[in-house]
Each structure stands twice: as C-alpha cells, then as structure tokens.
Structure 1
C-alpha cells in the first residue's frame, strides 16, 4: 500500500509542482520524475491512454518517488474504480459542477465507512498480499481526490463543492473557465482575476488546497505567489514541441 507523499506535502502547507502526460511512454514519466516534479497527472481525459497503459505509467512514477495522479475521462463509478484499482494515488475529475457530483466522486473513490468503492484485491491492494481491512483503511487515508472547477456553474456552486468532506484539492482549469466566461484563452483577463481570487478564498476557507494549470515555470511562480499550492506545469506534448521549436529557431537560414 502506497504512502502519499504529495498529500503529506500539501497538508504541511507546502507547494507542489507537477505536469500532465498524455504520451504512452514510461520513459516520459521517468524523465519528469528525474527532473524534480512532485507529481504527474496521467491524462486519460484528453489523451489516448487505456487503463492498461495507465498502470505502466503509474509504475514508472512510483519508481522515481513521484506521486501518480490520473485525470479520469469522466466521473462514472466504474471509471474511478478501475483507475484506482490499477494503483493511482489519486484521481483528478473534470466537470464537477455541484455538491452532488463531488459527493458521488467520493462515494466511488473511498471504501466504507466513507464511500462505497467496489471491493477487490487488485494492484492497489498488492494483489491480496496484505490484510484487506488494513488496505481499506490505508486506501481511504492516502487516496487523493482532486475536482475541477472549470465553468460558471461550478464556480457558482464552489462553496458547496468545497464543503464536501474528503475532497483534497479544488483545481481551477483556467482555459475552460475562460471559455465559459466568453473570453477563451485569456487566462489573465480581469474576469479571470476575479475567479482566481474567489477560488483561492473559498478553497482555503474550506480547508482545501487550491490548484491550477499553467504553461510554464514563470507562470507557476506567479500562481504560487497568489496562493495556489497544487500547480501543474504544461504537458509533455506542448513542452516537447516548445523545446523543438526553440532549437530549430536557432538555426540560420543559410544552414
């Protein structure tokens, strides 16, 4: 049974940095871990990853002491169950727009007496080599639940969502939120500044951790100064593309 280093770091009030991964390559995960990220978000919402491939990426993250979080494609109980059973240390769930949806996620992610997660002895339970009751208790303690706030409806219901016990992080999706506000892509627009202020205030008042996506390290530093503690910096595809384009741009036309 895993010990969730990320959860402990955030509970201590420290800031953690991670990145999204959509490429089905354990090598990418290992490089992220060796680079110093605290966590990786294995993205099955926007990426082509299957449950089987996700399991291998989780293993790679664990190998380098990097917490593997999986952004699931939806909040269906079966999706949550299979993701946690293959060993994810936490789930990140998009489009959580009301208290009922947040409570349903908890119900699917936690065992009795907190929730009603289906019982088996999969990889997350070390294939049945540990005491089941110990496993259920430790899983409830260590598994993280991150829910997205990424549109007007979720923002309007943020206080109720943040009040749901066992939700660890409220993650502001700035690009989706900007689209919902009618200013797509303008993540530093004054309207977004108001959203940022509200998310940080409501989340911290509820004893939760505010999280956000940024595209580079400079933005990460800016968001950390504002009060965000769970910060995801870019994704493998866009970061790799940026590096390639930068190096190509250094070539003179005469080459």
Structure 2
C-alpha cells in the first residue's frame, strides 16, 4: 500500500516540502532534516521525468516518500511517470469532469482504465520482481487533481465524483488569477472561492490538499480539514538562508558591510 495514501485515507494530515531544483542532494537533505515527504514539481521545477526519478531514488533511499506534480495530464506523461515508479501524482489545471475521467483512465490498467501495459519491464514493478504489480497498481495509486480555476470550482461536484480521483488539490494563486486577482488571494472573491471548494469537497466526501498560503498556515489548513499540505521548497530554503546569512554578515561588519577574508566562503 502507498503509505501516503494510507495515511490520508485514515484521516491523518500529511505535510510535505517541494523539490523545485531537481537536485537529489537537496531532496535527500530535506528528508534527513524533518521533511520525509517530498513533492517533485514537474510543472514549474527544473528537469524532466528522468531527473524526477533520480530525486525519487534519493528520497526513498533516505527513508522518505515522493509525490510528483506532473507537467500535464497527457496519456504519455502519466504512463511514463507511473512506469518509472512514482505512484502519487498531482495533475495541474483539471477544470472538467471529462478531463478528470481521462486522467484516471490513463493511470489505471484495463478494465478500470486504459493505461498501456509494460509491467514486467518497468521500475514500478521492480523490473518484474513484483509479478503482482499490475493487479495491485490501482490500489497503490494516489491521484490528485488540481483545482485552480473558477471553471473547476463550477464543476467541482462532477470532478469529485469521477472514479479514481482520490483528492482535490487547491492551487490558491492560480485560482485567484482566474478571476483577475493574481497575488491578491486575501481579497474576498478568492477567499469565497476557497470556501466554496472546501464546502463542496466536504459534501462530496473528498479529501483536500493545498499549499501553505492565502492567509492560512499549517494549523489553519489542518483545522479546515485539509489532509495534504505542502510547505517550503528547496529554492526558498536556500534563498532565505542566504539572505539571513548575508544580513547577519552585514550586521557584524557594520553599516558599510565591507567583505573580509573571514566571510569569503
């Protein structure tokens, strides 16, 4: 069983961090320092599927688990990601039930869906060492679709009802942008859309995921019933650490901030 899926289905709130830089070392370091679930960002991050597999290997070797936000919901992309052994997926920009249905079908073998078969030779089956892989792959799959457009909110009940869709994942800034409110997530209209999603998911009995932001932290989102919450990313951790170190350097050196040999490295 996919442990992330199992934790979510039993009502636990799972937290995660983003891998944006395509770096196995960055991801491994995060796992070893408090972030055992890593979300590989294949939509906005660096690298393609093979780079994602390298990150996944590092995370798994360190004792963690990976989720991948795929770049798109095409049959080829989903098939290749699943064959390469990534079993928890977020698919962006899912605005209709028809699109959600096609995604679910691309991710599952017949008779549930229409995923292409190559089970004995792919990483997902441990290159054939798991002969039962194809018959159990649907149980291991955690499939999240991203609700990040007002059209998706209008179609929320129909999307949530699609067999095989396990979670609705909210993209708050893109959602706000879809109504002309990009980077203005705290305004009443985007907040009302978020509330509509939360109410609709509760009515449908479908768990929610999202990122920290839009005025809500981990505790706020957990109280609102979100079961998968993504926080920091490797870029921000490095940049924020660099800025803090630079500010401390300048404080120690005084207003002029002249570099010395002691801080060249």
TM-score range, shorter chain: over 0.9
Query: How many Å apart are 1:207 and its aligned residue?
Result: 2.5
What CA distance in whole angstroms lies between the structure 2 residues aligned with 1:214 and 1:187? 12
What CA distance in whole angstroms lies between the structure 1 residues aligned with 2:111 and 2:186? 42
Q: TM-score, normalised by structure 2?
A: 0.89
Query: How many Å apart are 1:254 and its aligned residue?
Result: 4.0
What CA distance in whole angstroms lies between the structure 1 residues aligned with 2:223 and 2:186? 15
What CA distance in whole angstroms lies between the structure 1 residues aligned with 2:33 and 2:87? 20
User: Structure 2, unaligned stretches of length 5 or more?
Assistant: 258-265
- Secondary structure (helix, strand or coil) at the match of 2:173 reads helix
What CA distance in whole angstroms lies between the structure 2 residues aligned with 1:51 and 1:71? 11
- Secondary structure (helix, strand or coil) at the match of 1:46 reads coil
Query: How many Å apart are 1:48 and its aligned residue?
Result: 2.6
Q: What RMSD in Å do the two structures reach over aligned CA positions?
A: 1.8
> How many pairs does the alignment contain?
251
- Secondary structure (helix, strand or coil) at the match of 1:229 reads strand
| Alignment pair present for 1:110 and 2:105 | no
What CA distance in whole angstroms lies between the structure 1 residues aligned with 2:72 and 2:234? 22
1:162 matched to which residue of 2?
160
CA contact 2:30–2:36 (8 Å) conserved in 1: no
2:2 matched to which residue of 1?
4
1:101-140 equivalence runs, <5 A:
101-120=99-118, 121-131=121-131, 134-140=132-138
1:1-255 equivalence runs, <5 A:
3-120=1-118, 121-131=121-131, 134-214=132-212, 219-250=217-248, 251-252=250-251, 253-255=255-257
Residue 201 and residue 137 in structure 1: after superposition, are their counterparts in 2 closer, same or farther (change >3 A)?
Answer: farther
User: Structure 1, unaligned stretches of length 5 or more?
Assistant: none
Deviations 1:67-100, CA, capped at 9 Å, x for gaps: 2111111111000011111111211100100000
* Structure index of larger Rg: 2
Deviations 1:85-117, CA, capped at 9 Å, x for gaps: 111121110010000000011111111221111
Residue 107 and residue 199 in structure 1: after superposition, are their counterparts in 2 closer, same or farther (change >3 A)?
Answer: same
What CA distance in whole angstroms lies between the structure 2 residues aligned with 1:71 and 1:47? 9
What CA distance in whole angstroms lies between the structure 1 residues aligned with 2:31 and 2:96? 34
CA contact 1:4–1:67 (8 Å) conserved in 2: no
Query: How many Å apart are 1:65 and its aligned residue?
Result: 3.1
Residue 172 and residue 206 in structure 1: after superposition, are their counterparts in 2 closer, same or farther (change >3 A)?
Answer: same
Q: TM-score, normalised by structure 1?
A: 0.92
